[in-house]
Amino acid sequence: MQTTLISVNGDRLNQTLSQLAAIGQLSAGGVCRLAYSAEDLQARQQVQTWMQDAGMTVRIDAAGNMIGRYPGRLELPALATGSHIDTVPTGGRYDGALGVLAGLEVVRSLHDQRIQLRHPLEVIVFTDEEGGMIGSKAMAGTAPAQAAEYRRPDGSDIQDCLRQIGGDWSQLHQARRTSAEIAAYVELHVEQGGILEAEDKQIGIVEGIVSLHRCHITVIGRPNHAGTTPMHRRRDAMVAAAQVVTALNDIAVHTPGGQVATIGYFNISPNAANIIPGRVEMEADIRDLSEPHIEALIAQLQAKITAIATATQTEITLERGMTIKPTLASPAIQAAIAQVCDQLQLSSCSMPSRAIHDAQEIGRFTEMGMIFIPSIAGVSHAEDEYSSPDQCIQGATVLLQTLLQLDTLM
């Protein structure tokens, strides 16, 4: 099919991005708009007004999600888009905000031209993406059952938090949605990595959001005097641990595939300069789109660990920790995005998302797709996060045309 003549108003999109970035603006150009803060509340109020002015009805669900709905011509499940407007403490102007405001711009463009799609169109501001994703989790039915299990980074009580934005923890089940209500969800987001820039591509077509597996590794050696113990009589937990770090890195570097693996947590004891380390605790974080592939990597690591333990005369155990299942993007939506990019003559490539997004939860109950635009130098969750005005317009244009395609397909 052809792309239609409807287009987004790029100047208005970039102006709106600047207006939202002024709420919680930091001196170096970034934004601090922590979920549930005064700035977050102000930003939510502003977006609500913009949505209403664009012909949407707006409701707040029990999880505090703000749902703007633009009516369709037919009684069909909605097409949905959106993202989040909360930020990390020193965040950028684009992470989350772009997805929400591009969705708003899509509706504004339709409203300007008095066009309704076949489907109702929802623009969703998900609650607290950066602090635990209560909004998208409640919608998917994956939020913890007990409030005490829901740990926010600052330790605040989720029930109090939700109350401040018009939500209600005790009614959280009412926020749940199904594919009978939302036929497809497409989220535009900045890449937050450097692949598109390195590959010189304008648009990333997300294949899925990767699975994450954590492993807790404990090395037990023998603490002893650092002066009097000869080298050949040592059972140094730190020396063994260092080999485990290198082994995991080698596996991740040399195994074919797109996996990433990190040991970012390390705790050594007794942690004194004159004592041979007796115990080291480490946490490995391994991510890939394919869970069987992650299992194969962990099996390789386990084999190396056994060999390292023997060679260093230490005891090393690997315990499995938290896992997050991957969410694969809908092939039909990926194909629609690819076709739109071809028609618009925008270069594109398929890629996994190695960062977590609201789409990960929404994709658990309905067809999901994500569109990435480049992040300059791969910087995000930082004040100098940047995507150019043209890149933002390209992303919003692809979002609009993809939603138009899905409106005819679904």
Q: Could you list the residues that contact Zn ion (CB under 5 A)?
A: 95-96
State the minimum distance, in angstroms, from the CB of residue 91 to Zn ion. Answer: 9
Nearer to Zn ion, 95 or 236 (CB): 95
State the nearest-atom distance from the C-beta of 288 to Zn ion, in Å: 21
Residue among 85 and 333 whose Cβ is closer to Zn ion: 85
Residue nearest to Zn ion according to CB distances in the complex = 96
CB 84 to Zn ion: min, Å: 6
3-state secondary structure string, the chain?
CCCCCCCCCHHHHHHHHHHHHCCCECCCCCECCCCCCHHHHHHHHHHHHHHHHCCCEEEECCCCCEEEEECCCCCCCEEEEEECCCCCCCECCCCCHHHHHHHHHHHHHHHHCCCCCCCCEEEEECCCCCCCCHHHHHHHCCCCCCHHHCCCCCCCCHHHHHHHCCCCHHHHHHHCCCCCCEEEEEEEEECCCCHHHHHCCCEEEEEEECEEEEEEEEEECCCEECCCCCHHHCCCHHHHHHHHHHHHHHHHHHCCCCCEEEEEEEEEECCCCCEECCEEEEEEEEEECCHHHHHHHHHHHHHHHHHHHHHHCCEEEEEEEEEECCEECCHHHHHHHHHHHHHHCCCEEEEEECCCCHHHHHCCCCEEEEEEECCHHHCCCCCCCCCCHHHHHHHHHHHHHHHHHHHHHC
As measured in angstroms, the least distance from the Cβ of 113 to Zn ion is 30
Q: Closest approach of Cβ 187 to Zn ion, in Å?
A: 9
Would you say 20 or 238 has its CB closer to Zn ion?
20
- Which residue, 124 or 282, has its beta carbon nearer to Zn ion? 124
CB-nearer residue toward Zn ion: 96 or 374: 96
Nearest distance from residue 170's CB to Zn ion, in Å? 28
**Which is closer to Zn ion, CB of 209 or CB of 309?**
209
Nearer to Zn ion, 102 or 239 (CB): 102
Least distance (Å) between residue 231 CB and Zn ion = 50
Residue number, 96 or 131, with CB nearest to Zn ion: 96
Shortest distance in whole angstroms from residue 77 CB to Zn ion: 25
Extract the tokens encoding 88: 């990390």
